[in-house]
With several copies, the nearest count.
Chain A
Amino acid sequence: MARRKLRIEYFAILRERAGVDGEELDTEAGTPAELFAELSERYPFPEPDRLKVAVNDEFSDWQAPLADGDFVVFIPPVAGG
């Protein structure tokens, strides 16, 4: 199964739960949804239904294919202003 190197950065509650600002990951996950499921095995993350995801600094679909070198950010409910 194809593996890819991804870079992940965490914000807000996800950063607190992961205990790191970000990490590099060598993974078989082919979509943001698969990646989030994999990470949720390691960290007490929230359910993904209220989260969004960005790949390479643009909002992405949870089922979009991930490529080697992609930069992924999971986005908990925002609270600016």
Chain B
Amino acid sequence: MNQFELSAECLTPENYREQLRDPTCGGFSTFEGWVRNRNEGREVLELEYQAYEPLALKEGSRIVAEAVLRYGASKAFCIHRVGDLAIGELAVWVGVGAPHRDAAFAACRFIIDEVKHRVPIWKKEHYSDGNSGWGNCEACVEQAANHRAPSSRRA
């Protein structure tokens, strides 16, 4: 079992959980990210995850290994969906087993936080008003457009 995987198929938590079982572990913490029907006030119909796979796999595995080392966890695994997802579908699953619950919770939280910041995966939301957007990419593009506008006027 690799420490970080990408999947174009529906995620199957019971399988990952089974593979993390360990008689030295007293605590096991999981986090699941589900596709919500709303984001920032807009109704979401479905979404799409795109990944730069070779680097996502490397960076994701580094994060899981860091979490294990930093918190003294025994076993950890994270898997992220790619492709089209419906509302309520599982987008990401993290599971960590550790001797005690402090380490299990802390390592699980570390992994999901770092994955969201560091792994090259992008989310495109499709809204009920017909619009769609690439998560927080849109803001930076608008910002760039605003930067360009004045310089065009100056030219």
Q: B117 — which chain A residues lie within 8 A by C-beta?
A: 78
B52 and A9: CB pair below 8 A? Answer: yes
Interface residues on B, range: 35 or more
For chains A and B in complex, what number of residue pairs have CB atoms within 8 angstroms?
Answer: 94
B55 and A81: CB pair below 8 A? Answer: no
Q: A16 — which chain B residues lie within 8 A by C-beta?
A: 134
A47-B147 contact, Cβ under 8 Å, with A57-B54, A76-B140, A80-B92: yes
How many of A's residues come within 8 Å of B, CB to CB?
25
A12 and B124: CB pair below 8 A? Answer: yes
Say yes or no for A8: interface residue by CB 8 A criterion: no
B92 and A81: CB pair below 8 A? Answer: yes
Say yes or no for A50: interface residue by CB 8 A criterion: yes
Q: A9 — which chain B residues lie within 8 A by C-beta?
A: 52
The 3 residue pairs across chains A and B that have the minimum distance between CB atoms: A79-B135, A80-B121, A12-B122
Sample (19) of A-B pairs whose CB atoms are under 8 Å apart: A11-B50, A11-B122, A12-B50, A13-B122, A13-B134, A44-B145, A46-B140, A46-B143, A57-B58, A59-B55, A73-B55, A78-B122, A79-B122, A79-B135, A80-B49, A80-B119, A81-B91, A81-B101, A81-B116
